[in-house]
Homo-oligomer: A and B are copies of this chain.
């Protein structure tokens, strides 16, 4: 088997849920993301030799999302002889609601696939990356993994069967993401959710999801804007994020199409169809946290249509 001696990949951060698509929608950012370097070594097996930017992450490959994804892929090709050393350079905040564990899992699967000269297509990497993500989040969810792998805006109809679709995306969409540096654990954010939803809100949320998909398809930004409304999750989780309402209102005032929680937070995202609006919204969102002495990181990006890349 011919292999590459060393490669470097970049897996992007992602925004899941997108207001109207809890557990179904996600999109990829151009920045930030995870960089992963993989090199062939003489000693069989996968080893993580370096992690930067993520102090708490395990070197044990059975506990590390990138390690699990890489290992599952190697098992699938039946290659037991190869030795691989991985360096993970986390260039994005952990626990920020931007799909950090998904990005690492995607990077791990992509890196090993590239080292082996692509036994699998990108789509076929999905179950390996999902196995990695599951180690971190405890759940088999594709809402961050799919966009980090495939790019664009993705839709998950069913996680178990990996019924995943890439939506058509009109040109000119921008994403503003602000990460206020307060920690929220995905599991805690998930556990705080009520197990029941009113029938009225069930219908309205589904209607918004449908409207969003149709709006993307038609390039109807007004429909996208009307559909970027979360009547179920945001009202329950907003209180976890300091100054959420104020930040959201500031973004909407700048003319963004919509603004809500990224994943389970604390990051907040806004979608715009104009880079100036995306930047102005970012400036205003940042200002509110600065006035309240909360550190932030701000990311303004087009939608990343590539997903994970080797570079």
Say whether, besides A157-B227, A195-B198, A226-B157, A206 and B163 are in contact (CB < 8 Å).
no
A158 within 8 A of B: yes
B202 with A157: CB separation less than 8 A: no
When chains A and B are docked, how far (Å) is the Cα of A207 from the Cα of B195?
17
Is A157 within 8 A of B208, CB to CB?
yes
How does the 8 Å CB contact mask read for A237-250 relative to B, with 1 for contact and 0 for none?
00000000000000
Question: Which stretch in A21-29, A40-48, A112-120, A295-303 binds the other chain?
Answer: A21-29
Interface-side segment among A49-57, A60-68, A101-109, A209-217: A209-217
**With A157-B208, A157-B223, A207-B156 as contacts: A165 and B199 at CB distance below 8 Å:** no
**B210–A158 contact, CB under 8 A?**
no
Q: Complex Cα distance A168/B194, Å?
A: 35
On whether the beta carbons of A207 and B165 are closer than 8 Å, the reply is no
- Shortest CB–CB separation between residue A121 and chain B, in angstroms? 18
Q: Check B205 against A195 for contact (C-beta < 8 Å).
A: no
A232 interface contact, C-beta 8 A:
yes
Q: Interface digits, A146-173 against B, CB 8 Å rule (1 contact, 0 not)?
A: 0000000001111000010101100000
Residues in B with CB closer than 8 Å to A226 are 157-158, 163
Could you say which residues of chain B place their CB within 8 Å of the CB of A195?
A: 198-199
Task: Specify which of B158, B211, B217 is in contact with A207 (CB 8 Å cutoff).
Answer: B158
B211 touches A209 (CB 8 A): no
Of the listed residues A193, A199, A217, the one surrounded by the most CB atoms of chain B closer than 10 A to its CB is A199
CB contacts (< 8 Å) of A202 on chain B: these are 197, 201-202, 205-206, 232
Is A276's CB within 8 Å of the partner chain B? no
A292 beta carbon closer than 8 Å to chain B? no
When the two chains form their complex, are residues A203 and B157 in contact, meaning their CB atoms are under 8 A apart?
no
* Closest Cβ neighbor of A167 among chain B residues: B214
Would you call A206 and B21 a contact (CB within 8 A)? yes
Bound: A167/B218 CA distance, A:
10
**Inter-chain contact B210/A23, CB cutoff 8 Å:** no
The residues of A with any CB-CB pair to B shorter than 8 Å are 21-24, 155-158, 163, 165, 167-168, 193-199, 201-211, 213-214, 217, 223, 226-227, 232
A-B contact pairs, 16 of them (CB 8 A): A22-B206, A23-B203, A157-B223, A165-B223, A167-B214, A168-B217, A195-B199, A196-B197, A196-B198, A196-B199, A201-B202, A206-B206, A209-B209, A209-B210, A210-B210, A213-B213
What would 9 more interface pairs be, CB under 8 Å, given A24-B207, A157-B226, A158-B226? A21-B206, A21-B210, A157-B210, A165-B223, A195-B198, A195-B199, A196-B196, A196-B197, A209-B209
